[in-house]
Amino acid sequence: MKKRIAVLASGRGSNFQAVIDAIAAGTIPAACEALITDNPGAYAIERAGKAGIPVRVIDYRSFSSREAYERSLLAAMQEVDADLYVLAGYMRILGTDLVRSFSGKMVNIHPALLPSFTGLHAQRQAILHGVKVAGCTVHFVDENLDCGPIILQYCVPVLDGDDEDTLADRILEREHECYPEAIRLFCEDRLDVIGRRVRIRS
């Protein structure tokens, strides 16, 4: 049976688009039921509009406290009642209670080979550190930042002439392959989480 997924994005939403396209192509056996965003100016909203996906804007700035914002976000997520919540460039750190409510049902993509270079500007961190291989990681979300069990990692070379932007572009191309693939595996019920390790059933 088709899974129901919801995407959370704050910005341009190119990974969201890759997921929309993979669903439309029949690669991911799912329906995207909602885009949830904290940013009323997110380009992801236009992408959702074109694909006919309902949008929920939960504007962080319109809340008096972080707790009030999180309550509203939690309610919106529960209302959608998705099988999988996909963080795609969602720029707010989610509170522990919210993350626990969706344990095993929320995934994130990070533009680095975790556990290296967590947090913001991962590609810049990779350049500054001088690594020769970089990439992206799709992982389940747990209470710690960029830390949950790893589902897939794709790598790219770091070239001598690279700067943060050229490396980010090369990684992003792979993100657009890695994320739909990881979501497909989830939607096909092929992921077993054993401690920190995720086994992919064939």
Among residues 116, 136, 133, 122, the alpha carbon closest in space to that of 180 is found at 136
Which residue in the set 3, 13, 35, 69 belongs to the binding site for ligand GRF (CB under 6 A)? Answer: 13
Which residue in the set 82, 110, 138, 151 belongs to the binding site for ligand GRF (CB under 6 A)? Answer: 110
Give every CB contact of residue 39 below 8 A, 6+ residues apart in sequence.
Answer: 10, 11, 57, 59, 60, 91
Which residue in the set 73, 88, 151, 182 belongs to the binding site for ligand GRF (CB under 6 A)? Answer: 88
Which residue in the set 3, 53, 89, 156 belongs to the binding site for ligand GRF (CB under 6 A)? Answer: 89
Given the residues 110, 129, 139, 176, select the one marked as catalytic: 110
Task: Report the first-to-last Cα separation within the chain, whole angstroms.
Answer: 18
- Phi, psi of 176, deg, nearest 5: -70, -15
Q: State yes or no: is 129 an active-site residue.
A: no
Give every CB contact of residue 119 below 8 A, 6+ residues apart in sequence.
Answer: 145, 146
Nearer to ligand GRF, 15 or 125 (CB): 15
Is residue 149 a contact residue for ligand GRF (CB under 6 A)? no
Q: Alpha helices of the chain — where are they, by DSSP H?
A: 14-24, 44-51, 66-80, 96-101, 122-129, 164-187
**Least Cβ distance, residue 18 to ligand GRF (angstroms):** 8
Is residue 12 a contact residue for ligand GRF (CB under 6 A)? yes
Question: Rule CB under 6 A: which residues touch ligand GRF?
Answer: 9, 11-16, 88-89, 109-111, 136, 172, 175
Residues carrying an active site annotation = 110
